[in-house]
Amino acid sequence: MRTILYEGRLSEGVLLRVVQGDLTQEPVDAIVNAANEHLAHGGGVAGAIVRRGGFTIQQESDAWVRRHGPVRTGTAAITGAGALPARYVIHAVGPVWGSGDEDAKLTSAVRAALELAAQHQLASISLPGISSGIFGFPKERCAQVMLAAIRDYCASQPASSLREINLCNIDALTAHIFAAEARRQLEPAQG
């Protein structure tokens, strides 16, 4: 079941939603996979994407890595989405907590995903809490960094094709942390 926990517009008119639900079922042009550098989609969000979308996503990922080499932390790659409702999967590699300069690496991964979507003229994208699972990035800090990165990207790229950005997490804790952070960053303080 998909529940919208927050919905608002950024100053550039981009619709921002925080959703509790299954990322693999998001009705968007692209979903973002919280990937590792080798695009080996075994567990977590990546494993769910391949289970739902089909092994073709892993095959395309393997071919991408053979052609280009590993996807560096803070960057992203794009493949088809197999049987998923989305057209593409953007594989963003966030930092492992404790690797150093994590905020900048996460900001870079989010920006890389948004830039790839815009390069492909996509209108909508849905991102999970990148690095906040097995990579250990603290969820509250992840929400702060990701929302700031999205706001900065949209402010700096007003002509971007992106018109809808969703932050989608299946677990209630992460989804509610993102909703609270969205309200904190995007709603004016009440006097």
Owning domain of residue 84: 3-186
Flag whether 191 is in a domain. Answer: no
Q: For residue 189, is pLDDT > 70?
A: no
Residue 109 lies in a domain: yes
CATH number at residue 32: 3.40.220.10
Tens of pLDDT, residue by residue over 20-56, are 999 999 999 999 999 999 999 988 889 999 999 999 9
Q: Is 6 left (phi over 0), alpha (psi -120 to 50) or beta?
A: beta
Q: Residue 106: inside a domain, yes or no?
A: yes
Q: Measuring CA to CA, which residue among 11, 6, 5 is closest to residue 152?
A: 11
Query: For residues 21 and 86, what is the distance between their CA atoms, to the nearest angstrom?
Result: 15
pLDDT of residue 191: 47
Question: What is the side-by-side strand order in the sheet with 164-169?
Answer: 3-9, 15-20, 164-169, 124-127, 30-35, 88-93, 76-80
Neighbouring residues of 149: CB distance < 8 A, sequence distance ≥ 6: 106, 107, 110, 111
Q: Is residue 72 part of a domain?
A: yes
- For residue 79, being part of any structural domain is answered with yes
Q: Is residue 144 part of a domain?
A: yes
What is the spatial distance between Cα 10 and Cα 61, in angstroms, rounded to a whole number?
A: 33
Q: What is the pLDDT of residues 57-71, one digit of tens each?
A: 999 999 999 999 999
Residue 13 banded pLDDT, cuts 50, 70, 90 = very high
Token code pair at residue 28: 């968007």
Instruction: Quote the number of domains for the chain.
Output: 1
